[in-house]
Structure formats: structure tokens, C-alpha cells
């Protein structure tokens, strides 16, 4: 079903710009897919258990800022220092994981609704970002770091390999581990799953930690591509991650959604986005259109499950 | 007010006078898509009577209620007569105006509003922009409760009330708007004996004052206690309408199921070893001083007429309801479960009462449902699930318990009630428990599946498992359990020996032995 | 009879604690800043900074009580602001007209939300997230982000007093209306009913669509009024001004004691919540805490208060189930 939509979109865009389906286009799209895809995966995995994670962007920004600070403070401009870069990357990912753990703990132990909890952490970590940077942008990274987001290996952007590995990991997690079974059952029916002896608290915390992991990976790629980090970056991405997740078949109420759907969702989004670019649509208008698409996506989902 | 503007005549409940026919249904049919929910249903309801509607789950009771209250329309050609006036169909607003009120099983109250506001809520749905008159609300609520001789704190939030009190609020709400007929759907499922007594006395009192009551239930004993007339339903058809005097438990069971269960006693010899010992277990006012023993290889029945407390005890045994005091010993060792995983680890399994909400995740497939409780055990070293083993497990259990038409990949919702229950039981059997607790395991299940489940249980104990069977159904306990404990209002009243008692004696004890 | 219950409820409610916290904050800040806090200039900046948000909080309160959430309200406010500002610039306008226009625009957009929420069975968060993008996107695209200023004379802030009195006036009126609706109108009680148990409300004959239309139109209209006040205070319309402050408004409502699942909350709580957010932010500024740290502090306060509320709710539900059953035993 999703394949069909993707195919139609590609055809439609190619009509307007005949050289759309070309290697160059694919390559340029491929640069943007990893970050969107990883953020969407971070959102999607929390939706599978019937929750939501509104702090993905704030958390990504925080990771990015910390990574940037570690690098800029320890590496003179123009030079490179790979161990420091590696340290920065690791710390960045750990921070997002920690944010995920905080989210999970608040939701599991204090029984705060996921929306409120992640709204709160979003505000908090945005605040931390602001406090650390005092509104400034941190930029100027060493080449080895920039490599991650801006280079290709064998013609495919480096980031894609990270994305592919990460999603492969997620797919295995969801399909082939006990955790995956528990996630789908819990998202479908919390009560019965708890009666069956599943530790719901552990499940939730694990889920938000995994979400945090994906956020961290996305943060590395984002920061590398933007070559700058600041509070408030990519804030419009939040709705987009929800949009793509829903587009990709994830049920916001929990229990349904596959990795393949997420991938297709991201692809469709990128194609549509490119289409908007080609039509030279104003970016504000595209934001509005995305809103309409989100409404359509949830409507379609509702109609299909009502059958 | 009736559709044609007349007021229905008021009839006092005097047996010698010919009571007015409130409602008559002739050859009413209802199809939901392809399902024939009501078949040529004939029905009469007289003013001032207490009429019970009995039937198993899925027999069409809810459909009938929905048609009477106007929520659903019956098929073409159905004839419905209300207060002597023929209607093609009843519309919800007319039913409401004519005084027909339904109290659903979930009570449909507003937990965040006060008792007073719930009772007088219809004032809020009146037309016009007159401001809310709180004094009027409190007045209406107070006077309605006084009519019922019930004392409740008007300003209290309904969410803080016990279920029995909430039920009284629901009744009051129906009464507050000039109810002539109150239909109650399964009102006593969560009440203790004492609470049921209160409820019944209120119903009788209101009935004396002219209120017609229709009671829907599957609990045979309470029906016989309160009803004037009883209509038995099965599979969408009316089996018959009887006066209370003409019925007893056995006849009802036979009519409800369509066949008599060929119950036979087949008690395997239980061992002497005490595998579970409960000593003076208490938890607030859920239950008090509960003590009993479970021997290895036996099926212990827990029966309690209209009593809550049994499920609460079971959940405490399963680690989901921490008791205040008392001890639980498994194989002589005291246990203090913090959660149900610890209980499972000790070899206890619990098949919950509500199959659809607590037992199964009906939207997911059979295989996932069946394997969820042991999924952590069928992993390889790196944490991946051994899918072949998982599939084997599922297929084995499907075969072992003869779960017909089950395939690992189909959703649990596609199975019949009996098969769904077998899946739940398989799920727990897969954890290799020593003690299996079954809570109302054959609720809403057809006869064939019931027998099959009894066979399963008996085989299990022959192979050494110990089982606690919690049930409302007297024959079910009598024929499966050599020993049963009787619980009332949270306490263990006595222990009954089914080997030596006759079935009638057993029934006597259960119904009246308090 | 009703009053006795009310008094008892008040002292054990979260509002009481909130009031205490507010008073404590004021006292603390006054002492700490050597009295600067209660000086007129500071109070004035308090009003200027937060009155618009406070007004909007009154509307958001209503949505949350109904069990839903609306995060498109800022976008709606901005559109309404733009509409009435254009009107003023083009035809001089007057007091009554700008209110009418703003409220009309706000209600209309709110109705769109209501219809979508009613017919699409998806979480209200996601639906209003989508409409927020739509409203915001269309506005920015159509207006190209132009700033509006140079309003007619009658709209200008004439005296030092009017800068404080006008917003406060609106604030008081809006909260009084909201309080009245919630407590004394049938519509208000239906809103609580829907928040408590929407199915039961349906069965009791409540027209859910009508109530949703009212709710979302109301928050749209109130947001629009807040936008007018905002415009009055800074004498300009900058399209990116208000969007982005959603969290502050939501914080005001949530801190004022609502249940996110719906059915609980009232106007006085939101007033106290508004005061808390405003005083806290203002106080931080006074204490020379860099504005960069303010979000951090407020975020922490919010999270901590959520956790406290969550913990308290768990305690309460344990107590309630015990209580209900104990009384059973005694009767």
C-alpha cells in the first residue's frame, strides 16, 4: 500500500522535473533521510507502546550542543583530533539516552501521562540548551566530525550506513526479541499484558531509552550536517516526525507499526518534499501542506481500522 | 409524555387488578450485518412487575435492551406496542420521555462530578440558557435519595464511592427523572451479599410504589430471589417466560445451555502434601481472615454467592494485590510477592475473570498471546527469540488443548469464546505452574467448550498440578471439586465436602449457609 | 449545605497549596530584592509580560477540562491579531469592531478544530498539531512575515496607568466569564461531564458535537482576545511573536491543577498558576538570573510539580479505594 503511494509520488514529481529519478537526486535525498528517519524512529518506538515523545528535538539539540562544545573547546580550529571527536560523539549519544531514561522514569514511576512528561522535559532541556549556550551558536567542527554527515562511502552517504544499521537493529529488536513482542502487546492492551507477567515499568523505560538512542544518533548526523548547534534548531521537525510515523503506518494509540513502514514513510516524505522544492513552493506553505497531509493520514488510518 | 401527548395511566401494584401492559413486542427481529441477534422475539412487560431477563453472554439480552430504550432500531416488520400504542420502532427520546431508563453495567456515571450533580444531571441537559441552579440540583438529589431511603454525601465525588454506592447513584439518577421503567444490566456483578441485600430492598420498595423493573442477569440465584417473572433467552430467541415459582437452578441451567451438561463427578485422589497454605489473610475490607489449604493434585473450589473477595484473594495469591496481614506459604515456604512475576517464578499462574480485557490481547495473534508469559525463556544466548521453538510451542498447545480453527498467525479476536479461553489457559500452562488459579473460567462459553475445559482441568491434576477453581456456578464447582470453600462478604464461611454432600444439599449450603 | 462542602474542599485542594506558594514567592522576592518586586515599574512589567498569556490560559483551561488539548491556539491568536490589526490600519476602526473581528476569526478557526476533533478519532494533540502547522504556515505564507504597526491614535497606550489597567481589565473580565461558564452554565457542566466520561455524556443525551464546537471556538476566541491585548501592549504585530510561547500557557493551566485526562480544573486554579509562572519568571529576572536560565528553572519547576501531582494522585487513589470499602464495612 505504501509502496504504491511512494511510486505515485515519484511519478508525479518526475512529471514536473523529468530528471528527478536520477542518481544525483537520489544521492541528495539520501543525505537527508538518515536524520529524519532516525528522529522518526525515535518517535515511532514510543508511539508503539501507546505513548509519544515530544522531547526528541530538544534532546537532539542538547546532544548536539554538548558535542559541539566538547569539540570546539578541545580542538583548535583548523586542526583535528579523532579521539576527542569520538569522545564527543559518545557523550552526545549518552546524553540523549539519559534524557530518554529520565522520560521513561517519569512516565513509569510517577505515572505522568507521556504527553505531559515529554512536554515538560522538552521545556526543561530546551532551557538547559539555552543556559549552556546563552543563545549563541556553536560551530566550527573538525573535518573528521564533518565527515559523518557530509561524505560518501562508495557513493552512498556515510550517514546512510548508520541509518541502515540503526533501523536494522530496531527491526530485529521489534521482530525477534522478547522486548518486541511485549511492545506490541502492551501497546494493544496494557491491562492484559500486565496480567501476563510483563514488567510494564521496565518496558516503558527501555522504550524511551531506545528512543533516546535514536535521538542521539540523529543528533550526531544533524550536527555534523549543519555544522552548527544551537537551541531551537529543527523545531519544525517535531510535527514532521509524527507525520512521517503516522504516514508509515504507526498507530498513535499503540500496538501497530513496522520498521519497513517507517522507511517508506521517510522516503515518501522526502520525495514529496523534493517535489515541493521543485515547484518552488514557499517553505511556510509546505508546512501548512504537511499539516493537511497529517490530517489525511490519520483520517485514512481511522477509516481503514473501522472496517 | 407519550408521542401522542397523553400521559400513561398510573397503576398501583395490586395483584387482583389487571395490570397495564407497559410494553409488548411481537415478532421482533434484529440483524447486525449477517448476525441474527434477535429472532422472532415475543415479549410482554407489565406495569409494576419485576421482570428478569436471563441468558448467557451473546444471547441477545443487550440487543433487546437497546431496542426497548430506543438506542437501536429493530428490523422492518417488527411490532412494538408501548402503553397500548403501536409503534414501528421506539425512538430514544420517546423512550426517555416515557420514563424508560437504562442503567448500563458500567453505570455511565461521571466520576469527576459530585453525587448530587450526577443524580440531577438531566437538569444540565435541558434546553435554554438559564444558569445552573445549584440549590435545585441539591434539592432534587436530596429528595430522590430520601425516596430511596438512602443516605449518601451529596458533595462527594463519585470516583471516591464504592461500586455499590455508585449503583445507588445510578438508580437515583434514573429515578430523578420520573422513571416508570428502570432496566438494569448485570447490576450485581461486583457487589457483596450485604450490598445486594440493600439493592434488592430498595428495588422492592420502589416497586411497591409503582416502579417497573427489568433486570438482566446471568446469575440464576439472584434472579430467582428478586424476580416476579423470568424470561429465558438463548441465541437470540425466547425460550420461555416463567413465574418464579416454576423455576429452579437446574431447570434454568438446562434452558440456558440448551443441553444438560453431562456432569459427572470424577475426582482423582489428591495427595496429602499441602502445596499452598493461606493463613489469616486480610486486606482492608476486601477480605478478612481468609485461611485455607490446597493439597497437591487437588481441585479446590472457591464459591461465593454474589460475593466479591474471591478475585481479590486470587490476585493476592498472584502477587497483584498486596495483603495487609496474614501469610501465604507455598510448599511450606512463606512468600511475599511484590509483583506477579515473582508469583509466576514460584509456580503460580492466574487465569483472570475478564477474558477479553485481562486475559488476552485480542488484536494480536494467537502465537504472540500464547507465548507472552514465557517469551523470556525461549531466547538464545544473544537475546533473540527462537522463532522455531515459539512456533512449535504454539502448535503443541493448540493440539494438546484441541483449540480448533486456531492458527498461530490469526488474531485472537477471530476465535470463539471457548477457544479464546483455551488460549489463555495454554499461555499459563506454558509457564509450567504448580498451582493454577482459574477465575470464572467458563463464563460465557458454550457447552462443548465447557466440557472440554473440565476435561483439561481434570487431566492436569492427574498429572500432579494443583488447581483453585473460582466459580459462581454451583454444578461447575460441585462436579469438579472434591472440596470447596464458601466465601461470603470477604470471609471464608465454611468448607464443603462435595464427595459426601448431595447436589441439592450443596446448593442449599451455598445459597443459605451463612 | 453546598457551601460547607466547598470550604472543606478548598483547604485540602491543590489550589490552597498553590496560593501558599504564590504568597510565599511574593514575600520571598520582595525581601530578596529589597522591595523592588512590588514597585510599580516591576508590577507593570509583570502585567505587560504575562497578561496576554494569562488571558489565553483561561481558554486553554476549558479545552483541557474537556479531556482534549489544543496546541494551535497561538497560531489562531496570531491570525486573529493580524486580521484585527489590518482592519485597524485600513479603516481606523474602533474598540468594539476589533474585538468582534478578532473573536470571529478565533471562533471560526476554533470550529475547524472542533469538527476535525469530533470526526477524526485521533488524539487531539496530533490533530491540533496538524492544524497549528496549517494555520501558521498559511499565515506566514500569505503575509510574508510582515510586521504591522502604526495603529490609529485611539489604540495607543495613553497613560502609564492604561498600560496596566487595560490588560488587567481584560484579564479580570475573561476569567470572570470563564469562571461563570464553568460553574454556572449548563454548557460548562457538560464540558466537565465530557471530560469525566464522554460515553456517559453521550448516553445522557449531550450533543457532543455542539459542546466541542463551543469548547474549541471558545479557546480560539479567548486566544484572539489575548492577542488584542498583546498587540495593545507592544503596539505592533510581529507574526512570530506569540507562537513559541505555548508551553508557558500550558504550564499556567497545568500548574493550576488540572487533570490531563480531563474533568478537573477551574478558573481560580488557573489564575494561581498564571501568577506562579509570571511571578517566577519575573522574579528570576529581578534576581539577575540570566534569561538564559529562566526556561531551565521553569522547566524544572513544572516537572517537579508534575511528579508531585502524579505521586499525590497515586496516594489518593489508594486512599479512595480503601475508604470506599471501609465505609462499606461500617454501614
Tell me: pLDDT of A199 over 80.
Answer: yes
Mean per-residue pLDDT of chain A:
86
If pLDDT is split at 50, 70 and 90, which confidence band does B58 have? low
| Cross-strand partners of B301 | B469, B484
What is the radius of gyration, based on Cα positions, of chain A? 19
Q: Is residue C28 part of a domain?
A: no
C187 compared with C16, residue with greater pLDDT: C187
- Say whether C290 and A123 touch across the interface (CB within 8 A): no
Note the pLDDT of residue B16.
Answer: 40
Nearest Cα to A117, choosing from A239, A204, A190? A204
**Interface list for B 119-158 with C (CB within 8 A):** 121-126, 129-132, 134-135, 138, 154-155
Query: Is B96 an interface residue toward C (CB < 8 Å)?
Result: yes
Query: Are the Cβ atoms of A302 and C120 closer than 8 angstroms?
Result: yes
Residue C330 placed within a domain: no
- Residue predicted with more confidence, B279 or B511: B279
Residue C21 has pLDDT above 90, yes or no: no
CB atoms within 10 A of CB B16: 4
Q: For position C187, what pLDDT does the model report? A: 94
Q: C306 pLDDT exceeds 90?
A: no
B111–C contact, CB cutoff 8 A: yes
What average pLDDT score do residues B41-66 get?
83
Residues B469 and B489: their CA atoms lie apart, in Å, by 18
Chain B residues closer than 8 Å to A169 by CB: none
- Using the predicted structure, report yes or no on whether residue B228 has a pLDDT greater than 50: yes
Check whether C261 has a pLDDT greater than 90.
no
**CA–CA distances in Å: residue A13 to residues A20, A37, A277:** 7, 21, 10
**Considering the domain boundaries, does residue C275 fall inside one?**
no
Look at phi and psi of residue C67 and say left if phi exceeds 0, alpha if psi is from -120 to 50, else beta: left
| pLDDT score recorded for residue C191 | 95
Check residue C326 and give its pLDDT.
42
Residue C287 lies in a domain: no
List the single range of A35-49, A176-190, A241-255, B219-233 with lowest mean pLDDT. Answer: B219-233
Q: In 3-state terms, what secondary structure has residue A263?
A: helix
- Report the chain C residue with the minimal C-alpha distance to residue A235: C244
Interface size, chain B vs chain C, as Cβ–Cβ contacts under 8 Å? 95
For the segment A57-100, what is each residue's pLDDT rounded down to a tens digit?
999 999 999 998 888 888 877 778 888 888 989 999 999 999 99
Q: Where are the alpha helices (DSSP H) in A75-157?
A: 82-109, 114-133, 143-150
The pLDDT of residue B308: 55
Determine the Cα angle at C15 with ends C12 and C21, to 5°: 110
pLDDT band at C172; cut points 50, 70, 90: very high
Percentage above 90 pLDDT, chain C: 37
- Using the Cβ of B177 and the Cβ atoms of chain C, whether some distance falls under 8 Å is answered with no
End-to-end C-alpha distance for chain C, whole angstroms: 23
Using the Cα atoms of residue B447, residue B453, residue B457 and residue B458 in order, give the sign of their dihedral.
Answer: positive
Question: Is A165 or C14 the better-scoring residue by pLDDT?
Answer: A165
**Chain B residues within 8 A of C199 when measuring between CB atoms:** 108
A298–chain C Cβ distance below 8 A for any pair? yes
Measuring CA to CA, how many Å separate B338 from each of B189, B320, B321, B377, C220?
A: 28, 8, 9, 21, 48
pLDDT, tens only, B443-498: 777 777 888 889 899 889 888 899 999 987 778 888 889 899 988 777 888 898 88
Please report whether residue C248 resides in a domain. yes
Reported confidence tier of residue B11, pLDDT bands at 50, 70, 90: very low
Chain C nearest CA to B132, separation (Å) = 5
Domain annotation covers residue C2? no
Report ipTM (2 d.p.).
0.86
Residues of A in contact with B368 (CB under 8 A): 181, 184-185
Contacts C139 to A, Cβ<8 Å: 284
Average pLDDT over residues C13-25: 77
Residue B39 parent element (H or E): strand B35-46
Domains present along chain B, CATH in parentheses: 20-99+218-258 (3.40.50.300), 261-347+433-514 (3.40.50.300), 362-432 (no CATH)
Q: Which range of residues forms the domain containing residue C109?
A: 48-266
User: B444, B471 in Cβ contact below 8 A?
Assistant: no
Whether the Cβ atoms of residue C296 and residue A127 lie closer than 8 Å to each other: yes
- Work out the pLDDT band at C215, boundaries 50, 70, 90: very high
Q: Give residue B472's pLDDT.
A: 76
Domain parsing of chain A, residue ranges: 28-232
Q: Measured between CA atoms, how close is C191 to chain A, in angstroms?
A: 21
| Residue B249 or residue B169, greater confidence | B169
**Could you tell me the CA-to-CA distances from B487 to B108, B221, B441 in Å, in that order?**
30, 16, 18
Count of structural domains within chain C: 1
User: Average pLDDT of chain C?
Assistant: 84
- pLDDT tens figures, B272-317: 788 899 999 998 777 888 999 998 889 999 987 545 578 889 999 9
Using one digit for the tens of pLDDT, what is the confidence trace for A110-133?
888 888 889 889 888 988 888 888
| ∠ CA A255-B426-B343, rounded to 5° | 85
Whether B286 and chain C come into contact, CB under 8 Å, resolves to yes
Chains that touch A (3 or more CB pairs under 8 A): B, C
C311 vs A: CB within 8 A: yes
Query: CB under 8 Å, gap of 24 or more: what pairs does B105-109 form?
Result: B105/B185, B105/B186, B105/B187, B105/B189, B107/B166, B107/B167, B107/B169, B107/B170, B108/B170, B108/C197, B108/C199, B108/C200, B108/C203, B108/C204, B109/B158, B109/B166, B109/B169, B109/B170, B109/B173, B109/C197, B109/C200
Q: How far apart are CA C313 and CA C317, in angstroms?
A: 6
Amino acid at each position: 500500500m505504501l509502496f504504491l503511494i511512494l511510486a505515485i509520488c515519484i511519478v508525479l514529481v518526475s512529471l514536473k522535473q523529468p530528471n528527478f529519478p536520477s542518481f544525483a537526486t537520489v544521492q541528495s535525498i539520501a543525505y537527508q533521510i538518515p536524520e529524519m528517519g532516525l528522529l522518526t524512529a525515535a518517535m515511532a518506538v514510543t508511539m508503539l507502546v501507546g505513548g509519544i515523545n515530544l522531547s526528541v528535538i530538544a534532546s537532539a539539540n542538547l546532544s548536539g550542543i554538548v558535542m559541539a562544545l566538547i569539540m570546539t573547546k578541545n580542538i583548535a580550529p583548523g586542526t583535528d583530533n579523532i579521539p576527542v571527536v569520538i569522545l564527543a560523539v559518545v557523550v552526545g549519544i549518552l546524553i540523549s539516552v539519559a534524557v530518554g531514561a529520565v522520560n521513561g522514569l517519569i512516565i513509569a514511576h510517577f505515572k505522568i501521562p507521556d504527553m505531559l512528561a515529554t512536554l515538560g522535559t522538552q521545556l526543561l532541556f530546551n532551557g538547559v540548551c539555552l543556559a549552556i549556550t546563552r543563545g549563541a551558536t556553536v560551530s566550527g567542527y573538525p573535518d573528521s566530525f564533518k565527515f559523518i554527515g557530509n561524505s560518501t562511502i562508495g557513493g552512498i552517504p556515510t550517514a546512510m550506513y548508520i541509518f541502515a544499521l540503526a533501523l536494522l537493529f530496531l527491526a530485529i529488536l521489534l521482530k525477534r526479541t522478547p522486548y518486541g513482542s511485549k511492545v506490541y502487546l502492551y501497546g494493544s492492551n496494557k491491562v492484559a499484558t500486565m496480567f501476563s507477567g510483563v514488567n510494564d515499568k521496565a518496558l516503558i523505560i527501555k522504550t524511551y531509552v531506545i528512543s533516546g538512542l535514536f535521538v542521539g544518533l540523529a543528533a550526531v548526523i544533524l550536527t555534523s550536517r549543519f555544522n552548527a548547534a544551537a537551541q531551537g534548531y529543527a523545531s519544525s521537525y517535531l510535527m514532521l516526525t509524527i507525520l512521517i510515523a503516522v504516514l508509515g503506518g504507526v498507530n498513535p494509540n499503540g500496538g501497530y507499526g513496522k520498521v519497513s513502514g517507517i522507511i517508506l514513510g521517510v522516503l515518501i516524505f522526502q520525495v514529496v518534499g523534493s517535489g515541493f522544492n521543485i515547484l518552488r513552493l514557499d517553505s511556510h506553505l509546505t508546512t501548512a501542506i504537511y499539516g493537511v497531509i497529517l490530517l489525511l493520514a490519520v483520517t485514512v488510518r481511522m477509516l481503514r481500522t473501522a472496517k | 409524555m407519550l408521542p401522542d401527548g397523553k400521559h400513561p395511566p398510573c397503576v398501583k401494584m395490586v395483584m387482583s387488578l389487571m395490570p397495564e401492559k407497559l410494553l409488548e413486542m411481537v415478532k421482533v427481529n434484529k440483524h447486525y450485518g449477517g448476525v441474527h441477534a434477535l429472532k422472532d422475539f415475543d415479549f410482554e412487560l407489565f406495569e409494576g412487575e419485576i421482570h428478569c431477563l436471563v441468558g448467557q453472554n451473546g444471547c441477545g439480552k443487550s440487543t433487546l435492551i437497546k431496542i426497548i430504550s430506543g438506542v437501536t432500531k429493530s428490523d422492518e416488520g417488527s411490532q412494538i406496542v408501548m402503553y397500548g400504542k403501536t409503534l414501528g420502532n421506539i425512538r430514544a427520546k420517546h423512550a426517555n420521555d416515557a420514563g424508560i431508563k437504562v442503567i448500563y453495567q458500567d453505570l455511565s456515571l461521571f466520576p469527576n462530578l459530585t453525587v448530587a450533580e450526577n443524580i440531577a444531571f438531566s437538569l444540565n441537559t435541558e434546553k435554554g440558557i438559564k444558569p445552573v441552579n445549584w440549590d435545585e440540583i441539591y434539592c432534587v438529589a436530596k429528595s430522590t435519595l430520601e425516596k430511596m431511603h438512602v443516605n449518601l454525601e451529596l458533595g462527594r465525588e463519585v470516583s471516591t464511592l464504592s461500586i455499590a454506592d455508585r449503583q445507588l447513584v445510578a438508580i437515583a439518577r434514573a429515578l430523578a427523572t420520573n422513571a416508570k421503567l428502570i432496566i438494569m444490566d448485570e447490576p450485581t456483578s461486583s457487589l457483596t451479599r450485604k450490598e445486594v441485600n440493600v439493592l434488592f430492598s430498595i428495588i422492592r420498595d420502589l416497586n411497591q410504589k409503582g416502579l417497573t423493573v427489568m433486570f438482566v442477569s446471568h446469575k440464576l440465584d439472584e434472579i430467582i430471589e428478586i424476580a416476579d417473572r423470568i424470561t429465558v433467552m438463548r441465541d437470540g430467541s425466547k425460550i420461555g417466560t416463567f413465574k418464579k415459582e416454576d423455576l429452579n437452578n437446574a431447570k434454568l441451567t438446562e434452558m440456558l445451555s440448551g443441553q444438560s451438561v453431562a456432569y459427572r463427578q470424577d475426582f482423582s485422589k489428591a495427595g496429602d502434601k499441602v502445596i499452598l497454605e493461606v493463613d489469616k489473610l486480610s486486606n482492608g475490607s476486601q477480605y478478612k481472615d481468609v485461611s485455607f489449604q490446597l493439597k497437591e493434585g487437588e481441585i479446590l473450589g472457591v464459591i461465593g454467592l454474589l460475593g466479591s473477595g474471591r478475585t481479590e484473594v486470587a490476585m493476592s495469591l498472584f502477587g497483584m494485590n498486596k495483603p495487609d496481614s496474614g501469610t501465604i506459604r507455598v510448599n511450606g515456604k512463606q512468600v511475599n510477592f511484590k509483583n506477579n512475576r515473582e508469583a509466576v517464578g514460584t509456580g503460580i499462574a492466574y487465569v483472570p475473570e475478564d477474558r477479553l480485557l485481562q486475559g488476552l490481547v485480542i488484536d494480536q495473534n494467537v502465537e504472540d498471546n500464547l507465548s507472552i508469559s514465557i517469551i523470556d525463556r525461549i531466547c538464545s544466548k544473544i537475546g533473540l527469540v527462537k522463532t522455531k521453538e515459539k512456533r512449535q510451542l504454539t502448535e503443541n498447545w493448540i493440539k494438546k488443548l484441541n483449540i480448533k480453527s486456531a492458527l498461530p498467525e490469526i488474531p485472537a479476536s477471530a476465535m470463539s469464546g471457548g477457544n479464546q479461553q483455551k488460549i489463555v489457559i495454554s499461555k499459563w500452562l506454558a509457564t509450567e505452574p504448580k498451582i493454577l488459579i482459574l477465575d470464572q473460567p467458563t463464563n460465557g462459553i458454550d457447552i462443548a467448550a465447557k466440557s472440554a475445559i473440565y476435561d483439561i482441568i481434570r487431566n492436569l491434576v492427574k498429572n500432579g498440578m494443583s488447581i483453585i477453581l473460582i466459580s459462581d456456578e454451583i454444578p461447575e464447582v460441585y462436579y469438579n471439586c472434591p472440596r470447596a470453600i464458601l466465601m461470603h462478604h470477604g470471609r471464608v464461611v465454611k468448607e464443603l465436602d462435595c464427595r459426601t454432600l448431595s447436589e441439592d444439599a450443596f446448593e442449599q449450603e451455598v445459597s443459605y449457609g451463612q | 449545605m453546598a457551601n460547607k462542602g466547598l470550604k472543606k474542599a478548598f483547604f485540602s485542594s491543590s489550589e490552597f497549596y498553590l496560593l501558599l506558594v504564590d504568597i510565599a514567592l511574593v514575600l520571598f522576592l520582595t525581601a530578596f530584592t529589597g522591595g523592588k518586586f512590588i514597585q510599580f515599574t516591576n508590577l507593570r512589567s509583570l502585567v505587560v509580560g504575562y497578561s496576554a498569556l494569562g488571558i489565553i490560559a483561561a481558554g486553554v483551561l476549558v479545552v483541557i477540562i474537556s479531556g482534549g488539548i489544543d496546541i494551535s491556539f497561538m497560531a489562531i491568536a496570531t491570525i486573529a491579531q493580524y486580521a484585527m490589526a489590518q482592519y485597524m490600519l485600513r479603516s481606523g476602526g474602533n474598540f468594539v469592531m476589533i474585538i468582534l473581528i478578532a473573536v470571529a476569526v478565533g471562533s471560526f478557526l476554533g470550529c475547524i478544530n472542533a469538527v476535525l476533533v469530533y470526526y477524526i478519532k485521533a488524539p487531539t494533540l496530533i490533530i491540533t498539531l496538524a492544524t497549528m502547522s496549517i494555520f501558521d504556515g498559511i499565515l506566514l505564507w500569505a503575509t510574508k512575515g510582515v510586521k504591522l504597526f502604526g495603529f490609529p491614535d485611539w489604540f495607543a497606550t495613553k497613560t502609564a496607568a492604561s498600560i496596566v489597567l487595560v490588560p488587567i481589565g481584560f484579564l479580570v473580565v475573561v476569567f470572570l466569564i470563564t469562571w461563570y461558564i464553568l460553574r454556572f452554565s449548563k454548557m460548562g457542566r457538560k464540558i466537565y461531564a465530557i471530560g469525566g466520561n464522554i460515553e456517559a455524556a453521550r448516553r445522557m443525551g449531550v450533543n457532543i458535537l455542539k459542546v466541542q464546537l463551543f469548547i474549541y471556538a471558545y479557546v480560539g476566541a479567548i486566544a484572539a482576545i489575548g492577542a488584542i491585548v498583546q498587540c495593545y501592549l507592544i503596539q505592533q504585530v510581529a507574526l512570530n511573536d506569540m507562537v513559541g510561547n505555548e508551553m508557558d500557557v500550558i504550564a499556567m493551566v497545568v500548574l493550576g491543577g488540572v487533570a490531563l485526562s480531563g474533568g478537573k480544573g477551574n478558573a481560580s486554579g488557573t489564575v494561581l498558576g498564571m501568577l506562579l509562572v509570571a511571578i517566577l519568571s519575573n522574579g528570576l529576572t529581578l534576581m539577575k538570573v540570566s534569561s538564559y536560565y529562566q526556561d531551565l528553572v521553569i522547566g524544572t519547576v513544572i516537572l517537579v510539580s508534575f511528579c508531585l501531582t502524579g505521586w499525590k494522585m497515586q496516594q489518593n487513589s489508594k486512599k479512595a479505594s480503601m475508604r470506599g470499602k471501609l465505609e462499606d464495612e461500617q454501614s
